[in-house]
Amino acid sequence: MNSMDQMKNTRYANIIPMKELDTKEKRLYPFPIYDKLREETPVRYDKERACWDIFRYDDVHLVLKNPKLFSSRRSQGEKRESLLIMDPPKHTQMRNLVNKAFTPKVIQELEPRIAEITNGLLDEVIPNTRMDMVYDVAGPLPVIMIAELLGVPARDRQLFKAWSDVLVKGPEVNTDEAFTSVMAEKRQASDELSDYFKDILVQRRRKRENDLISLLLDAEIDGEKLSEEELLGFCILLLVAGNETTTNLIVNAIRYMTEDVPLQAHLRAHPELLPHAIEETLRFYPPIQAIGRIATRDVEIGGQKVEAGSQVISWVAAANRDGRKFAEAARFVPTRKPNPHLGFGFGIHFCLGAPLARLEARIVLGILLHRCIDIEREEGALLHPIQSPFVFGVTHFPVRFRT
């Protein structure tokens, strides 16, 4: 294995596209391919990406619920520390610090503000009876919310969006040139974000505010304050993790509702079903399609021997449609309950921002269905997938509607 392969293997296999998804058309609707892979090669080693791919629900579940066997520390030597790539006991300590800022009860209090921002964004575009779901509503809302929670100026949101876009990006094709160029872009975005947050930290050290950054500055683990790198890692993770993902959840829900127009009227008449429809969107059109881990010892998955040190990619988007787990797995069932989808992951790394993402989605979709009728995809509008193999979403989603 050359050094480039080694780097891909140990750190970045989940951002390299697999050969089965080599065109934009396939990435725009990858589910038939996931169905085939899940049924034909449920656990397979991909030489080109130097990683294992896991597609069935029970196997993915096993990987995610066993952090001792499958480590999140996939980027040893990464400059920035982040919750997402920590293992216990450090992960437990760091997660406890921020948990209290993200409980459903705390998040629920944001409801009026989320509604106010949503209505403000819609006021700008509703008179036109057309809008771009990504650009006009689903893109700005999560960025504004997380900026307000963290305590950074929401007016810088174009910058955050541009940085987040680059940080979730993967190479368009599996070549060393494409990989090197994307990695350089990512490094630059990460450095720029760091510099941005360093300035904010200087300001907050002088004067605390009622925000998450001030909370993190005062937090202690075993009597010790967080290091500068840990603080920066947290800020960047919170800004990026909750941004693109929530945008895609909202847009994917609307995308599905334009493919199943009667569902719009049904949900308008029964808003109490919205939370279930949102969970079903997380199962059926999950914004995060795959999650990476490293096997810490030799282990058997689905009858295959996976060696210690191997990169293991769990395909949540395939597992979520596994008929062994879900009845009518290939159908969007807006009333599905229970719905043990893996769209927010599972186990100790289960999405910290899930209550916020759920609330934002519920409020936006509720207001949208109330204010706009017969939302349809703009005729002739071409869709483009987001350039990242682990994200399921589109760059723009133009719609028309009646009021």
Residue 295: Cβ-neighbour burial (10 angstroms; 0-12, 13-18, 19+): buried
Q: Does 389 participate in binding ligand HEM (rule CB under 6 A)?
A: no
In the complex, the smallest distance separating the C-beta of residue 114 from ligand HEM, rounded to whole angstroms, is: 12
Q: How many residues bind ligand HEM (CB under 6 A)?
A: 24
Q: Does 138 participate in binding ligand HEM (rule CB under 6 A)?
A: no
Of the pair 95, 396, the CB lying nearest ligand HEM is at 95
The only residue of 18, 50, 254, 291 in contact with ligand HEM, by rule CB under 6 A: 291
Of the pair 362, 400, the CB lying nearest ligand HEM is at 362
**Token code pair at residue 104:** 């459903």
The only residue of 164, 174, 190, 245 in contact with ligand HEM, by rule CB under 6 A: 245
In the complex, the smallest distance separating the C-beta of residue 36 from ligand HEM, rounded to whole angstroms, is: 23
Q: Does 219 participate in binding ligand HEM (rule CB under 6 A)?
A: no
The total number of residues shown for the chain amounts to 403
Binding mask 36-75 for ligand HEM (x = CB under 6 A): ------------------------------------x---
Distance CA 312, CA 284 (A): 22
In the complex, the smallest distance separating the C-beta of residue 291 from ligand HEM, rounded to whole angstroms, is: 5
Binding mask 142-171 for ligand HEM (x = CB under 6 A): ----x-------------------------
In the complex, the smallest distance separating the C-beta of residue 86 from ligand HEM, rounded to whole angstroms, is: 7
Stretch (H or E) spanning 130: strand 130-132
Distance CA 245, CA 170 (A): 15
**Token code pair at residue 277:** 């429809």
Which amino acid belongs to residue 136?
Answer: D
Cα within 13 Å of Cα(121), Cβ side: 24
The only residue of 107, 352, 365, 372 in contact with ligand HEM, by rule CB under 6 A: 352
Q: Are the C-beta atoms of 309 and 295 separated by less than 8 Å? A: yes
Q: Does 365 participate in binding ligand HEM (rule CB under 6 A)?
A: no
Q: Are the C-beta atoms of 337 and 276 separated by less than 8 Å? A: yes
The only residue of 26, 44, 90, 95 in contact with ligand HEM, by rule CB under 6 A: 95
Q: Are the C-beta atoms of 231 and 150 separated by less than 8 Å? A: no
Q: Does 345 participate in binding ligand HEM (rule CB under 6 A)?
A: yes
Q: Does 351 participate in binding ligand HEM (rule CB under 6 A)?
A: yes
Distance CA 380, CA 194 (A): 41
**Token code pair at residue 157:** 């949101």
Q: Where are the alpha helices (DSSP H) in 13-139?
A: 24-28, 31-40, 57-64, 90-99, 104-108, 111-125
Of the pair 288, 399, the CB lying nearest ligand HEM is at 288
Q: Select the residue whose beta carbon is closest to ligand HEM and give its number.
A: 353
Nearest to 311, CA basis, from 43, 56, 10:
10
Residues that bind ligand HEM (CB under 6 A): 72, 83-84, 95, 146, 237-238, 241-242, 245-246, 249, 287-288, 291, 343-345, 349, 351-353, 356-357
